[in-house]
Amino acid sequence: MAASVNGMTLPSWASHIEDKQAPMPLLLVQAFVDTLDRDLGTDIFAHADAARAWLADAGLRVPDPDRPDAGFADDLRLAREVRASIHALIGRNSGGAPLAPDDLAPLEQVLGQAQPRLDVAADGRVRLGPGLPAHALTDGLLGLLLIVRDAQADSSWDRLKLCGNPDCRWAFYDRSHSRRGAWCDMATCGNRLKNRNLRARRAQAS
């Protein structure tokens, strides 16, 4: 079932993104990263059944109906690792450190195992895409990386950021004109961190 938030109809796999949603298809990358909510301590990928259902709903992994659990333990591990890698990649848009080799290793695994293909559209454009449907998780994850590549090309990628609250680090889409948004929600994370910094300054002054 789709949800409607702020006038935007969200696919069911993005129903946990309540505000500051990225445009499609970048929303899929945001929703994938935000399957882990550090502030609430919830993780869609913490339980195999929930993870399997979400990945299938998002089109990132279509399990074999005769063997739905085949290789899923390894797939779930890779999904978590790639999620952390893309989270670090988004962190670069918020002034984060360059990616370390450990950050890149899961992405390199996807690139080494996925089976991309060329597709010629009706308008004559030749496009690179993952093998479809994404029966293999690596193909679905490659699709996420291709979305990142396209977003970097059209400058929408720079607007996908991580919340400045270190206890949150939720991925959000900055639609501000100045592109200087720093919080997933100013009323919660923004004020919380400002109040914390204010208390720290007062304690230091005293």
Burial code of 40-50, b = ≥16 C-beta within 10 A, e = fewer? Answer: eeeebbeeeee
Enter the DSSP assignment of 111: H
pTM of the shown model = 0.86
Name the residue with higher pLDDT: 180 or 192. 180
| Fold of the domain spanning 3-205 | Jann2411-like fold (1.10.3300)
Q: Could you tell me the pLDDT band of residue 121, with boundaries at 50, 70 and 90?
A: confident
Lowest-confidence region among 29-38, 76-85, 160-169: 160-169
Per the CB < 8 A criterion, the answer to whether 51 and 83 are in contact is no
Nearest C-alpha neighbor of 87 from the set 34, 17, 142, 155: 34
Question: Is residue 5 predicted with pLDDT exceeding 60?
Answer: no
Q: Could you tell me the pLDDT band of residue 190, with boundaries at 50, 70 and 90?
A: low
Q: Which residues pair with 160 in a beta bridge?
A: 173
The fraction of the chain above a pLDDT of 90, given in percent, is 59
Q: Which two tokens mark 54?
A: 């979400």
| Domain edges within the chain | 3-205
The whole-number pLDDT of residue 14 equals 96
